[in-house]
Chain A
Amino acid sequence: MADELLTAEHLVKRFDDNTVLDDVSLSVKKGEVIVVVGPSGCGKSTLLRCLNALEPIQGGKITLDGEAVVYGSKNLAAIRQKIGMVFQSYDLFPHLSVLDNILLAPVKAQKRKKDEAAAEAMKLLERVGLADKAKSFPRQLSGGQKQRVAIVRALCMHPVMMLFDEVTAALDPEMVREVLDVMLNLAKQGMTMIIVTHEMQFAKAIADRVVFLENGEIIEDTDPNTFFEHPQTERAKQFLNIFSFERSKKDEKN
């Protein structure tokens, strides 16, 4: 169990009397890429938000790197430095340039030297093909560019793992690829990640494990080949059918 980076045991999350996560347990090994799929409203975003204590939980326990992650606790800021998170909505700070967006947390939260952090930020921007945008403001970027900057902003904190919540869901199709490629590269470099996505081809390509969530419960937790080719449960089959149905309809037209 020594190589487990993040564990969530018996998580229970309620909004008033609506139970959104019901006894969810999940563990992530160092270097593992976990893709979480499931129908809309099943609790995927809530799960990720609980993992870095953006939401309080009503039961269960979360441990990152041996430390308990507790909503509202004093060392939460220190723990969050280890978890990078990118959301679906473009969440760059609109009043700061791309570079200042990236540097804010390293300089203010981690008290790093600005020069050193800026040099690293430029290297990371270069890697995602956006070095020339360092001085631009978020409103001057496309959706795909914003998401790549958001990823760089998280990476510049040197997180031990990353959480991605449908980071391509709000993008025009032609921009999806550039963002997914950045994530594929991260996976190659051995970054530990939990990814929520509706891009099934991408899930198949990147996942070490697929977690299928429905109604706040983990129904399947297995390797991608098993999940996509031989789903064990009826509900997972139905869920995957939604995607293949779309494809066969297009085929008919042609």
Chain B
Amino acid sequence: MPDLGLDVLFKGKNMLRLLGGLWTAVEISLIAVALSIPLGILLGIIMTSKNPIVKAVTRIYLEFVRIMPQLVLLFIVFFGSTGALGWNISGELASVIVFTAWGTAEMGDLVRGALISIPKHQYESAAALSLTSAQTYIYVIIPQTVRRLIPLSINLITRMIKTTSLILMIGVVEVLKVAQQIIEANRMTSPNAAFGVYLAVLLIYFILCWPISLLARRLEKKWG
């Protein structure tokens, strides 16, 4: 049997270290998601405004964050804030900032889409029942919006977790970085370690993201 370098994984604390790196990635995604959801809901509501200036500004923000590769955003925030502004922010913080900015934009667009898909007569029958517009949003519109949103935002979470593989580029020790370190350390004893270790990384991402995708699909069927 060819040497796939799988043995390296079971050496010392290597598996634990990989999982530790995974936790860093998941932690950053979770914080970013937790911030993106309320901010995105707010942005989405603002985006349905009829004011053309508000519309234009939010649209530009959305397009900008979407078009820029996440890696470039990470570099701008991490190196830019250190170099240009003289702040010394950690790679983790820079990652959270970028992922939140991105997540808020994506979430905002999802919320906007969900809001405009609620039929007009839902607003009207609430008004005819003498609910104020705040009450209409809280009890009628937002609960229906959330049902449409949950599957979509779960998909956004898996996209975020996957994209965290970029943050090793600004020095954050996440899964991929740990994998590189393990491969480096074992270059002499197991030259084939790269294959085994990256295979493990692939499996880790799959095991993490697949159930989340399945859940999203189920909720979509249930509420869609």
**Is there an interface contact between B121 and A89, defined as CB atoms closer than 8 Å?**
yes
B163 at the interface (CB under 8 A from A): no
> Is there contact, CB below 8 Å, between B129 and A94?
no
Q: Which of B2-10, B18-26, B45-53, B139-147 contacts A (4 or more CB under 8 A)?
A: B139-147
CB neighbours of A169 from chain B (8 A)? none
* CB atoms of B124 and A95 under 8 A apart: no
- Tell me whether B140 and A105 are in contact (CB under 8 A): no
The answer to whether A95 and B129 touch (CB under 8 A), given A54-B124, A87-B121, is no
Q: A54-B127, A54-B128, A105-B129 are in contact. Are A91 and B135 (CB under 8 A)?
A: no
Tell yes or no: B131 within 8 A of A by CB: yes
A108 within 8 A of partner (CB): yes
Most chain A CB neighbours (cut-off 10 Å) among B122, B132, B139, B140: B139
State the Cβ distance, B146 to closest chain A Cβ, in Å. 9
Chain A, range 41-100, C-beta contacts under 8 Å to B: 52, 54, 77-78, 80-81, 83-85, 87, 89, 91-95
Tell me the bound Cα distance from A52 to B128 in angstroms.
Answer: 7
B88 at interface, CB cutoff 8 A = no
Q: Which residues of B contact A77 (CB under 8 A)?
A: 130-132
B81 at interface, CB cutoff 8 A:
no
Q: Does B117 contact A (CB under 8 A)?
A: no
Q: Which residues of A contact B140 (CB under 8 A)?
A: 93, 104
Q: Give the distance to chain B from A248, nearest Cβ to Cβ, in Å.
A: 37
A-B interface pairs (CB < 8 A), number:
59
B82 at the interface (CB under 8 A from A): no
The answer to whether A108 touches B121 (Cβ under 8 A) is no
1/0 per residue, CB under 8 A from A, across B126-160: the answer is 11111110010001100110010000000000000
For residue B121, which residues in chain A have a CB less than 8 angstroms away from its CB?
87, 89, 91
* CB–CB A95/B144 < 8 A: yes
- Residues in B whose Cβ lies below 8 Å from that of A87: 121, 124-125, 128
B125 cross-chain contacts in A, Cβ below 8 A? 85, 87, 91-93, 150
CA distance A89 to B143 in the complex (A): 21
Given known contacts A54-B124, A91-B124, A108-B139, A157 and B129 CB-to-CB distance under 8 angstroms: yes
Q: Which residue of B lies closest to A80 (CB)?
A: B130
Q: Which residue of A lies closest to B223 (CB)?
A: A95
The residue on B at minimum CB distance from A105 is B129
Point out the residues of chain A lying under 8 angstroms from B122, CB to CB. Answer: 91, 93
CB-CB nearest in chain B for A106: B129
Q: Is the CB of A95 within 8 A of B131?
A: no
Q: How far is the CB of A52 from chain B (nearest CB, A)?
A: 6
**Are the C-beta atoms of B124 and A81 separated by less than 8 Å?**
no
Closest CB in chain B relative to A105 CB, distance in Å: 4
| Cα of A85 to Cα of B144 in the assembled complex, Å | 22
Per the bound structure, the CA–CA distance linking A84 and B127 in Å amounts to: 11
CB distance from A157 to the nearest CB of B (A): 7
Residues of A near B139 (CB, < 8 A) are 104, 108
Q: Does A167 contact B (CB under 8 A)?
A: no
A91-B122, A94-B144 known; A80 vs B135 contact (CB < 8 Å): no
- Please report B residues at the A interface, Cβ cutoff 8 Å: 119, 121-122, 124-132, 135, 139-140, 143-144, 147
Interface residues of A (CB under 8 A from B): 52, 54, 77-78, 80-81, 83-85, 87, 89, 91-95, 104-105, 108-110, 150, 153-154, 157
Give the top 3 A-B pairs by smallest Cβ distance, nearest first.
A91-B125, A80-B130, A105-B129
